[in-house]
Amino acid sequence: MSSTIMMERTGTSLPSMGMPGLGTTPSASTGITPTNMMMVPRCTLKMEKCQGGCRITCSCDDKMACSMVQNLCSMLTGGLCTCCVMYNGMPVCTCNLTMGLCKCEMTDSGMCLTCTSGDSQCCEMIQACCDCMCCMMDAGCTCCVMINNTPVCCGCCETGKSSSKSKSSR
């Protein structure tokens, strides 16, 4: 499947920085610690502020990747939603959306994750995280959306749409 990314699931938000005893066990015969890897669908991400918070839309061109995103979201629904923004595979920013209620809805091409709060200060924090992630993705970073620390989808932002919007507002 060409529309997937290999991600390490080691119990931390830093790829390749595993924690001993969490998901990994040393191998006595080879001396190499096996990794806990999974294939994650590559998607196009769109992040935007909405009433009370933000909306993250993951869309996949490949039907198999779309189905995988939807199945992962269905299995993990109700868990902690996290976005890890990376540049050249290294985490730059991690936003744990603990200050709001996150809901996952299926779309024709993937899923839409909406994180909102009725509290005005929590809403401001959610929208500030959205602005921060949009800025980094416009600059060339990728984002991995996780639910319960399990990667659900990874990808880049829609090309041209968010950057042209920010240029027109200047």
58, part of any domain = yes
Is residue 109 situated within a structural domain?
yes
Model pLDDT, residue 32 = 63
pLDDT over 80 (residue 10): no
Asked, for residue 75, whether it belongs to a domain, the answer is yes
Please give the tally of structural domains in the chain: 1
Give pTM, 2 decimals.
0.72
- pLDDT for the residue numbered 127: 95
Q: Identify the three-state secondary structure at position 97.
A: coil
Specify the DSSP element, H or E, that contains 142.
Answer: strand 142-147
Opening angle at CA 17, ends 10 and 38, nearest 5: 35
Residues forming a β-bridge with 107: 110
- Reported as a single tens digit per residue, the pLDDT across 75-126 is 888 889 999 999 998 999 999 999 999 999 999 999 999 999 999 999 999 9
Residue 96: predicted pLDDT: 93
The per-residue pLDDT for 118 is 93
| Strands 37-50 vs 4-8: parallel, antiparallel or unpaired | antiparallel
Residue 22 domain flag: no
Q: Answer yes or no: is pLDDT of 152 > 60.
A: yes
Tell me the residue range of the domain where 65 lies: 45-148
| Cα dist from 43 to 96, 128, 168, whole Å | 20, 23, 26
The residue with tokens 């969490």 is 22
The answer as to whether 62 is a domain residue is yes
Q: Write out pLDDT tens, residues 35-60.
A: 666 677 788 999 999 999 999 999 99
> Residue 20 pairs with which residues in a beta bridge?
none
